[in-house]
Amino acid sequence: MAAQTDASVLIDMKMDELGDWRAELFTRLRALIHVADPDVVEELKWGGTPVFSHDGIICTGEIYKEWVKLTFAKGAFLKDPKHVFNASLEGNLRRAVDFRKGATVDGPALMKLVKDAVALNQAAAEKKAKRPAAKRPAAKQPAAKQRAAKAKKS
């Protein structure tokens, strides 16, 4: 839990340093994520990118000069009837939402995406837990050891 707390504190500090519309917007998005999933875990990965996880990555939060982005790791598998996703639409896995200054945030639709992403992660985790452990093939000996073993037999 210490890593969670440390990441949360560092994210808070980063928002305080920014102190502009991006920090306000990111803080609002972050709060919506926490309302949608009270068990969400905050982490910092890849050089300080905020990552929201629950049985796998839900989304990342990225702050750019002109926009704030939430990238959903498995967004292509989520239903988006409200068309919240507006970026990274061409990929087979990720989907993103770019929020520019003054953008309207559809809180209920965003929270639904978060809840659906958590459900998808949990289903994958359950499926993985039910799979029998894969058997590892016997390790091959290096060629030099194989030759030495053959030489001893001769």
* Domain boundaries defined on the chain: 2-125
What pTM was computed for the model? 0.79
Measure the CA dihedral 36/33/100/83, to 10°: -40
CATH 3.90.1150.200 fits 2-125, yes or no: yes
Residue whose C-alpha is closest to residue 9's, from 36, 31, 42, 37: 42
Instruction: Specify whether the CB–CB gap between 110 and 37 falls below 8 A.
Output: no
Interval 63-79: pLDDT, tens: 999 999 999 999 999 99
Instruction: Specify whether the CB–CB gap between 55 and 118 falls below 8 A.
Output: yes
Tokens 């990441």 belong to residue: 7
Mean pLDDT, residues 7-36 taken together: 92
- The residues, ordered by sequence, that sit 6+ positions from 49 with a Cβ below 8 Å of its Cβ are 60, 61, 62
Mean pLDDT, residues 76-90 taken together: 94
